[in-house]
Chains A and B, each alone.
Chain A
Amino acid sequence: MSVKEIFETMDYGPAPESAAEALAWLVDQGDRFGHFINGAFTTPGEGFDSRNPATGEVLATLSQATQDDVDAAVAAARSAQPKWEQLGGAGRARHLYAIARLLQKHSRLFAVLESLDNGKPIRESRDIDIPLAQRHFYYHAGMAQLKDSELPEAQALGVCGQIIPWNFPLLMLAWKIAPALAMGNTVVLKPAEYTSLTAMLFADICQQAGLPKGVVNIVTGDGAVGEMIVAAEVDKIAFTGSTAVGQRIREATAGSGKELTLELGGKSAYVVFDDADIDSAIEGLVDAIWFNQGQVCCAGSRLLVQEGIADRFYDKLRARMDGLRIGNPLDKCIDVGAVVDPVQLQTIQTMVENNTAGEMHQVSCVLPENGCYYPPTLITGLETSDPLMQEEIFGPVLVASTFRTPAEAVELANNTRYGLAATVWTENVNLALDIAPKLVAGVVWINATNLFDAAAGFGGVRESGFGREGGWEGLTAYTKPKGTAKALAPVEAVSGEGAPHDPLDRTAKMYVGGKQARPDSGYSRAIWGKSGLLGHVGLGSRKDVRNAVEAAAGAKGWAKATGHLRAQILYYIGENLSARADEFAHRIDAMTGKKGGAKEVETSIQRLFSAAAWADKYDGQVHGVPIRGVALAMKEPTGVIGALCADEAPLLGLVSVMAPAIAMGNRVVLAASEPYPLAATDFYQILETSDVPAGVVNILTGVHADLAKPLASHLNVDAVWSFSSTDLSAQIEKASAGNLKRTWVNNATATDWNVDHSKRFLQAATEIKNIWVPYGE
């Protein structure tokens, strides 16, 4: 077109970013890559092509890692780890800082390579992915610097296996590697097979930065390589990807003692109230669901609009969609690039084709002939029962429904198995700050969407996984308390025979929903002391677990009670226990045949007081994120926690679990010490007299092995802990995969209950939700 013609049409025209430098870099590497192990690239082996999804052209050939490659990488990481940790925080900080600087120096090379490999618009890789990756290394250079002074009780986990997805290749690498290295771990990382090129460039950077050999190892390949890493002798697995694979990793690592964090899928709600700035909310949707072609785990993919404005909102949204520009990812003037691979494109096409409900609007632009392109799509008028309202599409497809009231908005938003992120648009600060805590999600954005920063934790709840990346909260995923645990032998019940010591029979029941309950099974077993029969307890079964969880789930109000009130009740429990201290001490001694009862009761009272003290002091944080606004890191109760309590400390083991859990607003289902259950059954009398609301604490008795499975597999339980001397860790973690419960199991190691571990319990009893609140008038 001539200048004069363009003057008339005012078209945008092409604005391509050059790929020359990135392609030249690939040529310099021989267009073939081995793995990066122990500070050097291996000779390229059997492998697969890495293609540009916008054109289908082969960019380079990557190697499929063998078992030997993975073993070599893990061995290199293992041997490098002690020295890396001993280098100290300040020493590691210098290396992380050097990496950040080099990422910055080569920022355009990274950006172009990323867009070539992944298909995302150059605007996104240049303005978002690469700067954020740099930011994570800068931020965690700071965390390394502060580690020794601020986290003196923490130590590195060791070798971390890290498996990352294809949607934000370099950024996810940074999220994984930066905190791991900062805390003194070494890593074996596998990038996604579609998008490994920037990881290769990163390896190049590690060499340039003089990073010690073996600290970072990168192996390439498909899911089979991921499985090898999961099975390898590593201390932790960090995975970002689909929920289905996350569940398989949970099962595969069950009982192995490997730490695990999972950042999985989502179907994040995007809630627009009728007082919102509608044009801004619509612009937000562009960044929510058409960002990175919708291939974003936290994409605002489920639009919920208040009924009164829905029609107008949809009209404006469709008009806005029609202005989106789709095309060559390296064009600086496009909004939507290519989907990562033909396989993903096919998945999106099939899901949309199978939908018959609602009304569909697709941008009617001409898509490039070659390459994996899918038009931005809106489907309105869907209901919660339509599959597309529930299933993650992972493409540029927005589904929409309406709501009537704030309460209904919350219900609809939370009507999902996922819980990654949510967005709320309203100009009413009361409404915004009321809704945000009610949304079941790890991240909530108010009047904004897809804001990320290294200083604010990111991660989900429910089946979106567990663990946080970024912020102080992210460091716990790469550290553990100093010290080593001793082995825990099974604790046997005292056996005996003969008549009861006290001829008046007292029936110890279970405690469910604030009431004493007989076992559903109708069976009981005898509890003996050295001096004779002490009593009987019910044999709990799956039905009792069901009833207890139902009661716990129903006691929702406890989570909303003030910290002050929860503290008062915990103090009251302590007070009432103190009043009957002698009786409890005597009972413990009678069951265990030892003389530690008095001390155990006294320590239990201390635990209750500690938890009461923390109830209104375990504060969240306000993160310093680089916007005009705040990111409120709020600590929320995990939910319903099921726990198999310690066998060896019948009262203290139970109280140590219960007190911090309920202090944070959780409801608990506690399986009493299996050999010595009568302290727990006596204890419910204390609960009954201490104003503990019904359902907040539920106590079951019976065989831990029988209670573990129904508790760990119950889909309405949010976390399951085991301190049982029966080693049920593997069984529990495996069963927990169904809804991806948070697990804390002892792997047959002992806990010293005389030591106050309240902080660890408080941490396990809370989830950190980051609520981003930009402001400004």
Chain B
Amino acid sequence: METQSPERTAQLPQLTEPRNPGTALDLDWVRAVQANTSAIERRAATLSGRRSVKKDYQAAWLLKAVTLIDLTTLSGDDTVGRVRRLCSKARQPVSPALLDAMEMPAITTGAVCVYHDMIETAVTALKGTGIPVAAVSTGFPAGLSPFHLRLAEIEESVKAGAEEIDIVISRRHVLSGNWQALYDEMKAFRAACGDAHVKAILATGELGSLRNVARASLICMMAGADFIKTSTGKESVNATLPVTLVMIRAIRDYYDRTGYRVGYKPAGGISKAKDALVYLALIKDELGDRWLQPDLFRFGASSLLGDIERQLEHHVTGAYSAGYRHSMG
């Protein structure tokens, strides 16, 4: 393992404070959880009208968003070359000229997220940058491969140098109300991760209701998740504001009761700079500023960065930008 550079301290989950050790399974708490869909949707729908960030503030927020991105490629046609290009973009997500114009030091994305086979390539490409490599695991995206293989996959990925493991939960445990099974599974995944940090992907688009999202969020935190994450990006519905509201309120409750901060990662479907700002405002208002750092918040996104670059150039020059002016990732 590499030694920790200061940049890494800022980016890896929970390096600045204790990892969530989990709690015993508290089914009374889980069953008492409520999520009123209409009210949650109203809050989500009106948020963009209630919060607005302009000019330098908007630029700073967008730069912050860049540092929170898990720059991701999860395709069957990923190659070494493709992953290297992505890692290079992660090291220099925004052109130095733009950063200079805003008098900003260099920034990087929060992490690079790949499949197991690409870990080694990514670790090599990111050597010395402090950018962690995250690997999706446990039979991603469906999570239906044999349980022992899912555990073995985690172990292999950690061995290969992944510092963050994005696991997928068994949706069937949620849909059948088998909370004990979900808890046990998550606990086993966490144990298999060792020192690597674990993000629990709930696949919220397949959980049927916001109440189930809330309950699954709690269970995963009780079982020791460092992060909870909405989606694989492969479901028909991925990250949404209502789902986000439910999950971050669960994080807030968990923090209130246990004192441990769990991170949050919306993934899939966030492709516009404007959307990113709304997410950040929601996190700021519901969870607080502490969660606006890469150790507690990440965007799982691939095309978001391009839109943010264009908006930043517009901020600097006053003219609307074009995609080809920015390096592709």
Listed in ascending order, the chain A residues whose CB lies under 8 Å from chain B are 1-7, 9-15, 123, 126-127, 275-281, 283-284, 323, 332-333, 335, 425, 427, 447-448, 627-629, 774-777
Contacts and interface: CB of A to CB of B under 8 A. Distances in A.
B60 A7 contact: yes
Interface stretch (B14-22, B102-110, B126-134, B217-225): B102-110
Interface in B32-82: 34-43, 46, 49-57, 59-61, 63-64
A4 B104 contact: yes
A628 B40 CA distance: 13
Which 7 residue pairs spanning A and B have beta carbons closest together? A13-B57, A6-B60, A280-B39, A774-B38, A277-B36, A332-B52, A15-B52
Interface in B187-245: 209-211
Given A323-B285, A332-B52, A333-B50, A10 B61 contact: yes
Nearest to B101: A3
B26 interface: no
Contact of B39 (A4, A284, A777): A284
Contact of A777 (B37, B55, B285): B37
Nearest to A5: B60
A10, A279, A332 — which one has the most chain B CB atoms within 10 A of its CB? A279
B173 interface: no
A604 B49 CA distance: 60
A696 to B, nearest CB: 40
Given A3-B104, A6-B56, A7-B104, A12 B63 contact: no
Contact of A629 (B38, B103, B105, B281): B38
A777 B41 CA distance: 11
B74 to A, nearest CB: 29
Given A4-B103, A10-B292, A283 B43 contact: yes
Interface in B158-179: none
A776 B285 contact: no
Contacts of A425: 36
B180 to A, nearest CB: 23
A425 B41 CA distance: 16
A405 B63 CA distance: 51
A461 B59 CA distance: 52
B272 interface: no
Nearest to B285: A323
Contact of B60 (A3, A15, A277, A775): A3
A4 B105 contact: yes
B35 A1 contact: no
A283 B292 contact: no
Nearest to A332: B52
- Of residues A5, A276, A774, A777, which shows the largest number of chain B Cβ atoms within 10 Å of its Cβ? A777
A136 B261 CA distance: 47
Nearest to A628: B38
A382 to B, nearest CB: 26
Contacts of B103: 2-4
B274 interface: no
Given A13-B54, A13-B55, A127-B49, A775 B38 contact: yes
Nearest to A283: B43
B289 interface: yes
Given A4-B104, A448-B42, A776-B41, A13 B36 contact: no
A775 B36 CA distance: 9
By size class, the interface of chain B is 35 or more
5 contacts: A4-B105, A10-B61, A127-B49, A333-B53, A774-B38
B292 A14 contact: no
A776 B38 contact: yes
Contacts of A627: 38
Contacts of A323: 285
A349 to B, nearest CB: 27
A427 B56 CA distance: 43
Given A280-B40, A427-B36, A3 B56 contact: yes
Contact of A3 (B50, B59, B285): B59
Given A277-B34, A447-B36, A776-B41, A333 B285 contact: no
A127 B284 contact: no
A12 B36 contact: no
A777 B105 CA distance: 46
B314 interface: no
B84 interface: no
B326 interface: no
Nearest to A280: B39
A649 to B, nearest CB: 52
A15 B53 contact: yes
Contacts of A275: 34
A110 B35 CA distance: 37
B209 A777 contact: yes
A628 B39 CA distance: 11
Contacts of A774: 38-39, 42
Contact of A13 (B53, B102, B211): B53
Given A10-B284, A127-B46, A776 B56 contact: no
Nearest to B210: A777
Contacts of B35: 277, 280
Contact of B51 (A6, A12, A629): A12
Contacts of A276: 34, 36
A123 B284 contact: no
Contacts of B37: 776-777
Given A3-B103, A12-B284, A15-B57, 9 more contacts: A2-B56, A3-B59, A3-B102, A10-B60, A277-B39, A277-B40, A283-B39, A448-B39, A627-B38
Contacts of B54: 13-15
A278 B61 CA distance: 30
Given A3-B63, A7-B104, A278-B34, A335 B50 contact: yes
A257 B40 CA distance: 49
Nearest to B57: A13
B310 to A, nearest CB: 17
A421 B187 CA distance: 48
A222 to B, nearest CB: 34
Nearest to A8: B60
A128 to B, nearest CB: 9
B97 to A, nearest CB: 15
A567 to B, nearest CB: 37
A15 B249 CA distance: 27
Contacts of B289: 9-10
Contacts of B292: 10
A427 B34 contact: yes
B41 to A, nearest CB: 7
A12 B57 contact: yes
Looking at A10, A12, A275, A427, the one whose CB has the most chain B CB atoms below 10 A away is: A10
B109 to A, nearest CB: 15
B34 A333 contact: no
Contacts of A283: 39, 43
A6 B40 contact: no
B53 to A, nearest CB: 6
B40 to A, nearest CB: 6
